[in-house]
Structures are given as structure tokens and as C-alpha cells.
Amino acid sequence: MQPNFQPKNIVKTIESLTQEGLSVVAESAKGNDWDSVVGPLDKFEFELGQHTSVNSHLNSVMFNEAFNAEYEKTLPLITNFYSEISTNKALYQAYKNLKNSDLNEAQQHIIQDAVEGFELSGVGLEGEESTRFKAIKERLSLLSNQFSKNSLKATNEWKKPVTKDDLKGYGEDQLAKIKTDNGFEINLQIPIYMDVMTYADNRALREEVYKAYVSRASEVGITSSEFDNKSIMDEILALRLEMAQILGFKNYAELSVESKMVESPKQIIDFLDDLVAQSKPQAQRELDELKAFAGIELMPWDLGYYSEKLKEQKFGFKKTELTPYFPEQQVLSGLFSTIENLYQIQIKAVDEFTYHADVRVLEITNANGLVGRIYLDVYAREDKRGGAWMADYQALMGDNKPVAFVVCNLNSPSEGKPALFEFDEIVTLFHEFGHALHHVLTTVEYPSAAGIAGVPWDGVELPSQYMEFFCYERDVVNLLSKHWQTGESLPDELYEKLIASKNFQSALGMLRQCEFSLWDIHTHLSDQDTYEILDKVRAKTALMPSVDESRFLNTFGHIFSGGYAAGYFSYKWAEVLAADAYDYVHANGGIGSEASRSFMYHILQVGGSLDFMGQYVKFRGERPTTEALLKSNGITGLK
């Protein structure tokens, strides 16, 4: 069950496995029932997935040039292998034949999904079109990795020595993070960058750091232009368009929605436009309030700083007053207890060798024994890709239990202090554990539909965003908080201020997320330059002008090196589901109730084995509306 975190000869291993896989495919194509067609493929892909998952994971969390060079050689092998599977006409026919055989409901759903997957992967293509389609897929896998590598290197390249005088506004906790033997040094890692934007009184320093951050991996970047991602982005977008058109779609957005719950790109745009219309008046009021408070012409590097000051004034507390109450061990203990209470499981850390001393190994059990494992990697490091994510190592199959990786880039311990988490970081942890539970708690024994596999992309974020709501409940905050020095839980007064401030500038946040989502879908509807499209979208969504140096799209990994192309709207779509689901569970007994277990039975355990919206309706009793989303964000709509 333990992953091999010191793989050797990965190119030879993947070469050998993919060759073996082609033999498995040939045999499966001759089959005539579930066990002879799907069974052998599931078994083989389970093994191959273990190797590819570990390789990808190590490349993201322990990046080094030597391993990356080998890893890059495996990408065409894997891409070509899956291209061979998805365009194998005999295997496609074998799957189609199964539609008329004696299958249970989950098997029928899996076969239907697989048949549609074949068709979207070019199984009907012939000759030059088929060859070109496979070449595009191979090229896209390499470009995606290069984009991610450039983003990481550009982020790591920028560092700046600073003095204590430069850092007026910082508290001891912020100073401790950046202390060096010779003084202090700041960089563009997210925890450090956010501290500069939030606490540094020095406006010129905030401007410098902001411009360095938003210009990363670009031709105007303060870091080396050798990491410029623009040509990679352009090629990725052009190849996606060509791929969609080869399949008979007008654009990549149309291709993307074929495998999602939504019916069309227009439905996505209408959904987002409505959220913009509902949010924009309140967002303007929020910005006007901030401008009046700051008393200056606001620039982007002022927003975080003055927002924090305004928040302190409005709600009577500083963010830094909260962090001493949330030391890492207590936060994790509270998170685990909350999950245990929600789903009648137990989480226990086990001592085991991994790839880094920071990584914790967590065993999940229930009344019937072992359920699965989670490898938790919390702290930011230079050799680690930014952001937070969950990745699966293996699905449930026979005696093999599900295993997931949860990765964050949060604060780490410093100078005798434990890691003290900001509340936003706690929300991130809850979010990623929502994904991990979706993977680990599955009862589906078909790897192609177990956990997150087979779940439509616009449903994948439901379990993660649903989990976020619980970390604001008073009983949960009691579990999460224990002052690292006094042992005191978060006082009622501070808790009430935290809750009162929960939706501070939420309409501005909603507008920003809608801007990303609209840019993404419009970019994939068009062959126009992506920055020109961003300008058009911002004309409708933005309340402040951008700066000339801004090239933030050049590090937008979700779209160019993740799976969210023409799917970034999924965050908002799933947030509708999550807010509606939480409202229902909260109104029907909350944590530990039959309603919360119903979420586990109908959503988490079922994964991608049944129709996702159908399962949601079974759990909830009806389809969701945007009402709960707006209410949870404190957005009162058009006024």
C-alpha cells in the first residue's frame, strides 16, 4: 500500500508498463462481458496509475532538474498509451456491445461514460486526422509540464534582502518567517508574499513585490524572461482549438462541456453574468468604503493592506490576534475530530518513511477496519509547486485501499514556535481534505469510477467546498483552537468578530472569481489573444484598472497546467451545490446527523459510478439554486 517514493529507472518502467498495457488492451477488445473487457483494463490501469501518480507527485513537491528530465521523457509515453486506448476501435466496439449485456446500474453508467469518452478522444478519426490528434495530445502534456516548471522557477528566482526598518507593520510572527543569518529576506512564496501585501507599511516595497509577483514568467517580468510562458500559453490554446475542431466542435469550450453537468458554454456564461449582476453593486459599495477609509487613490498593492486595516477597525480585531490560537497540531487534531464526527471514521497518524520529513501519514479506519490513507504535506518549500491540491495515488480495488496525497503551502514552524495558521489557511486545509475524503471514502470497487474518478469536473469541487463551511461552526472552532502558549480556546468575543468578518468584501471576491471564470470560458470560445479577452471581460467585471506589468495569466496553473481549462466556472458552480448542501445538513441536525451521513452515502461513497446530479437530488431532495450561495456570501443581490 505504501507508495515507492524513491523510484528508479522511471523511463524504462513506464516503457515496459505501457507495452504490457497494449497487450492487455488487445485482449480486452476480444472480451464479451464486464470481467473480460473492463476487469483486465481496470487492473492494469490501477498499477500504471500508481507509478505515474508518484512520478507526478514527486515532480511537484520535490522538484529537481535531474528527476524532471526523466519525468518529461515519460509524458509522451503515457500520453501515447492513453491515445492508443482511447482510439482503439475494437475496444470501443467491445464497450458498446456491453451496453446491451446484463450490467448493474453503476456498471451501465461507467460503460456509457466510457463510450462517450472514446468518442471525445477521437476514436472515430482516421488517417492524418487521427495521427495529428495524437500528436496534439502528446505536445500538450509536454507544454503543460513546461508551463508549471517555468512558473516554479520564476517564483523561486526573486528574492530581496530587507531590513527591519523596511518591515514596519510586521509582527514577530511575520518577521520570524523571513529571518536569516544576516537579517531578513522576502520572496514570492505565497505565505511570504501575502504577509508583504497585508502588513508592510512601506508602500514602495508593496508595489515592488506586487509587480514582481504579477509579472512572473513573462516578458516584462522582474525575473528572467527565459521563463516567459506566453508562447507556451498561445500554443496550448491553439492546440486545444485545433483538437476540438478535429472532433467537429467549433471551439474547445464546446468540447469541454460535453463531459460536464452543464449543457452549453452559454449556460455557463449566463450563470456567471447573473452572479456578476447580483454582486457588482455591493462590490462597488465595498470598494467605495475602502477608498474612503484609505484616503488615497488605491492601487492593487494597496488593497490587501488597507482591507486588513479596515477590517480591524470595523470588527475590532487583527488577523494576527487569531493566529496564536491556531497552532498546527491543534488545527489538525480539530480537523480530524470534525471529520470523525461527520462520517464515523477514525484518523490516526502512523510513523512511516516518506519523501520528506514534513510529510505525515494518516490512516483512516471505520468499524470494519482500514478505509484508506492520506499523505499530508503542509508547508511551503522552494522545490514545491505553489498552491494546494489533492492527488490520488490509488483507488479502491479488491484488498487495495484508496490512497491520496494532500498538498498545501502553509506557514511552517519558526524559532521555537509551532506553525501558527491563519484562518484562511485552515479553510484551505478543510477544502483539500474534502477532496481527499471524496477519494478515500468511496465504496465503488471499479477504479474508473471510484472516488473522484468519473465525477464530472463541475461536481468535483462540491465535497471540498462543502467542508469549508464547517470550520466556521463554534463547536468546530473550539476543536481547532488552543493558544500555543496559554492553551486557551478562541474566546467568544474573538469568535464572534471572526464570524462577523467572514463576508467582509465577499462581493469583491465573488466578482474576482467570476472574472477568472468568464475569462477562461471566453478564451476557449475564441482564437483571439487571451490578454485581449481578459481586457474585454474586465470591462464588465473589474472596478479598478490593472497595472501594465500584470501578466498573472502567465502563472495561472489551473488553466495551463491543471485540469480546469474551460472549467474554472466549476468552483462557482460547485459552490452553489456546496452552499445548498450545507444549508440542508445544518437545518437537519448538522455534524453527525442522518443528513450528514446521507451526504456521505449519496455523494462521497458513490463517486463517479452514478449520475452526479441525480445523486445530489437523492441526498437533498431537490435541485440546488443560487440563493444559498448568495446568502452564504452575505450578498443581498441587485440593489
Spatial CB neighbours of 312, under 8 Å, sequence gap ≥ 6: 318, 319
Give catalytic status of residue 432 as yes or no: yes
* Angle, vertex CA 196, rays to CA 192 and CA 198, nearest 5: 110
Q: Are 378 and 358 in contact (CB under 8 A)?
A: yes
How far is the C-alpha of 522 from the C-alpha of 266, rounded, in Å?
10
How far is the C-alpha of 62 from the C-alpha of 53, rounded, in Å?
14
Choosing from 425, 432, 515, 575, which is the catalytic residue?
432
Q: Where are the alpha helices (DSSP H) in 395-529?
A: 423-440, 462-470, 474-480, 492-500, 506-523
Q: Are 303 and 296 in contact (CB under 8 A)?
A: no
The strand ranges marked E within 78-228 are 159-162, 179-180, 183-187
Max Cα–Cα distance, the chain, nearest Å: 75
Question: How buried is 543 (Cβ within 10 angstroms: 0-12 exposed, 13-18 middle, 19+ buried)?
Answer: middle
How far is the C-alpha of 73 from the C-alpha of 518, rounded, in Å?
35
How does DSSP assign 194-242, residue by residue?
A: HHHHHH---HHHHHHHHHHHHTTTSTT-SS-GGG--HHHHHHHHHHHHH
| CA dihedral (258, 261, 264, 269) positive or negative | negative
Q: Are 377 and 357 in contact (CB under 8 A)?
A: no
Q: Are 379 and 419 in contact (CB under 8 A)?
A: yes
- DSSP conformational letter for 397: B
Spatial CB neighbours of 556, under 8 Å, sequence gap ≥ 6: 516
Please list the active-site residues: 432
